[in-house]
Amino acid sequence: MLARAFALWILILFPLFGNAQGFNPPPEDAGKDLSVSLVTFGPGTELWERFGHNAILIDMHEPNHHVRLLYNYGMFDFAQKNFFLNFARGRMLYRIAVDDPADEFPQYREEGRWIVEQDLNLTPAQRAKLRDYLDWNARPENAQYRYDYFTANCATRVRDALDAALGGAIHAQLIAPSRGFTYRMDALRLMRPAPAMMVLIDAGLGPFADKRLSYWAESFVPMEFMRYVREVKVRDDAGNLIPLVARETTVATARLPEPPDYPPNWIWWALAIGILSGFGLLALARERVRTDFAGSFARATFAISATAISLVCGIAGLVLIGLWTLTDHVAAWHNENILLLNPLCILLVPAWIASARARWQPSRFVKTTSFVIAFLAAFEFFLKIYPSFPQDNRFWIALLLPIHAALAAGLCWRRE
Are 296 and 404 in a shared domain?
yes
Beta bridge partners of 75: 95
How much of the chain exceeds pLDDT 70, in percent? 92
Q: Rounded CA gap, 226 and 54, in Å?
A: 8
Top pLDDT among 2 and 64 is at 64
User: Tens digits of per-residue pLDDT, 128-171?
Assistant: 999 999 999 999 999 999 999 999 999 999 999 999 999 999 99
Confidence (pLDDT) at 18? 37
Are 228 and 372 in a shared domain?
no
Are 59 and 164 in a shared domain?
yes
**Domain total for the chain?**
2
Are 346 and 227 in a shared domain?
no
Q: Which residues fall within 8 angstroms of residue 137, CB to CB, at 6 or more apart?
A: 71, 96, 143, 161
Q: Are strands 53-62 and 65-75 parallel, antiparallel or unpaired?
A: antiparallel
Top pLDDT among 250 and 30 is at 250
Average pLDDT value for residue range 278-290: 92
Residue 27: band (very low, low, confident or very high) from pLDDT cuts 50, 70, 90: low
Confidence (pLDDT) at 26? 53
Are 227 and 326 in a shared domain?
no
Domain of residue 373: give its range. Answer: 267-410
Are 284 and 185 in a shared domain?
no
The average confidence (pLDDT) of the chain is 90
Are 273 and 237 in a shared domain?
no
Look at residues 78, 263, 48, 229 and name the one whose alpha carbon lies nearest to residue 149: 48
Are 308 and 240 in a shared domain?
no
Considering the domain boundaries, does residue 4 fall inside one?
no
Confidence (pLDDT) at 29? 58
Boundary-marking domain end, from 190, 225, 252: 252
Look at residues 93, 94, 104, 96 and name the one whose alpha carbon lies nearest to residue 138: 96
Per-residue pLDDT at 391 exceeds 50: yes
The CATH number of the domain where 71 resides is what? 3.90.1720
